[in-house]
Amino acid sequence: MVDYVINWGRGVDSTAYLVAMLDDPKAHGVDLERTCVITMATGDEWPDSDADAEHYILPLLRDRGVRLVQLARGGQPAAAGIDVLDDSRSPERLIRRGRWSLWDEMEATGTVPQQGGVRKCSIRSKADVGDRWVKPATGGRPFRQMIGFNADEIGRSERDLRENKNPLRTGVYPLIEWGWGRQKCEDFLLERLGVRWKKSYCTFCCFPVSMGAMAAHLDRMRAFPDIAGRVLRLEYTAMRLNPNARLFGRHSLLEKFDPARSEDGPVLEAFAQELASCPWAVYHLRRLLPPSTNDPAAPGEWLRSVRRLRTGRPADLARTVERVGARIGARLEYEELFGSVRAWKRERGQALPVTEEFLVSAPAFAADKEKDVFPKKWARYTGVASTLQLTIKS
Ligand code: SF4
């Protein structure tokens, strides 16, 4: 029976708690037989974080026979359920991903994680997955759930308490009770394990800026240039499909690397290699921000239509966009580094409804996407009943 669940995010805070508690479970009021550690695989954790977790923490769990359950979301829709990747009292390794990962979602939608507001990606790939496992595992009985908020994050623990909708769950925040802030957790792990514990997050996360950790993030990218190249390709694709889709709001990841700096060379080479070796396509993009149905002066919700018109070699596709763009009277815009071309048929204005439409050559990872309501709304707000008529000949 499980009545104590420990959410191990593998970062500094939850790891510090886990290690301190495992050193003397009884002193912390923990019965390991009735305890379960859960961890969620997002699919894109940094390899050095996984390696440290496997090297330093899994042996502690094995020695004490603690149950570790590794979970992942089963697919994009909630109906896809969750995957139990491993459930063991002697875990040998961490499993990096399940059937679905956030990366798959970002590539298929041609987007990057959004800064600001609620971290929907984290809720979908971590919090929601854990909640769905906990419910049956605790068998309808009351349980405690440890969340590794540190003493500098009292606001987050208060929000967790406020938003708890499960009357059987009691959230516990031992690091706050102990007065352990981030620095204390780092110092403890360094002293206890002899390692400076690294931040745990997805390689393509947009939050290193708000965590004040951009310099360390870029160093990590330089240490793993292949990963950096893929993340740059993800951002590049998103920005070709939406010029505002930079990873860090007003700043892109790409602009953080300087071709004149020798240590940035491998990252930029890996990025160029990614773009040279991946499939490319011509996309037709339309975006619409209609007025709100309740208040015509206020914006409603963005709608988007993405259609892949043809695939091919980047240079050929760029010529196609030029040719079709000239034919339909679009403004041509050239991306100098890798030769992508955008042909603006309709450029975004300020007033509602906001509309934009263009053709662009870009890496071919985004899938076609258009909500059922889009054609009707587009026709209503643009007066154009049909889509841009394109005849693209080989
Ligand atoms: S680490 Fe970043 S990208 Fe990954 S789930 Fe959390 S907020 Fe989203």
For 117-151, write each residue's pLDDT tens digit: 677 888 999 999 999 999 999 999 999 999 999 99
- Per-chain mean pLDDT for the chain: 94
pLDDT above 50 (res 394): no
At 146-193, the pLDDT tens digits run: 999 999 999 999 999 998 889 999 999 999 999 999 999 999 999 999
Could you report the per-residue pLDDT of 227-283, keeping only the tens digit for each?
999 999 999 999 999 999 999 999 999 999 999 999 999 999 999 999 999 999 999
Instruction: Name the residue type at position 380.
Output: R
- Say how many Å lie between the CA of residue 42 and the centre of ligand 1: 8
C-alpha to C-alpha distance for 342 and 332, rounded to whole angstroms = 6
- Which residues have C-beta within 8 Å of that of residue 266, sequence separation ≥ 6? 222, 225
Nearest CA to ligand 1 atom 7: 122
- CA dist., res. 23 & res. 278, Å (int): 49
Give first-to-last CA distance, the chain, whole Å.
64
Which among 104, 46, 113 has a CA at the least distance from the CA of 73? 104
Contact 140, 168 (CB under 8 A): yes
Residue at 258: amino acid letter: D
Question: What's the rounded Cα separation, in Å, for the pair 315 and 335?
Answer: 12
Identify the three-state secondary structure at position 299: strand
Pocket of ligand 1 (CB under 6 A): 42, 102, 113, 119, 121-122, 125, 201-202, 205, 207
Q: What values do phi and psi take at 158, rounded to 5?
A: -65, -40
**Helix 225-241 with 265-277: angle, nearest 10 deg:** 60
Q: Which of 204, 186, 78 is nearest to 129 (CA)?
A: 78
CA–CA separation, 234 vs 366, rounded Å? 10
Distance, CA of 371 to chain centre: 23
> Rounded to an integer, what distance in angstroms lies between the CA atom of residue 117 and that of residue 136?
30
Residue 104: pLDDT above 60?
Answer: yes
Shortest-distance Cα residue to atom 6 of ligand 1: 122
* Mean pLDDT for the stretch of residues 47-56: 98
Q: What is the pLDDT of residue 392?
A: 55
Which residue CA neighbors atom 1 of ligand 1 most closely? 201
Beta strand 169-172 with 354-363 is unpaired
Q: Tell me which DSSP letter residue 255 carries.
A: G
Relative to the CA of 125, which ligand 1 atom is closest? 5
Please state the atom number of ligand 1 nearest to the C-alpha of residue 204: 3
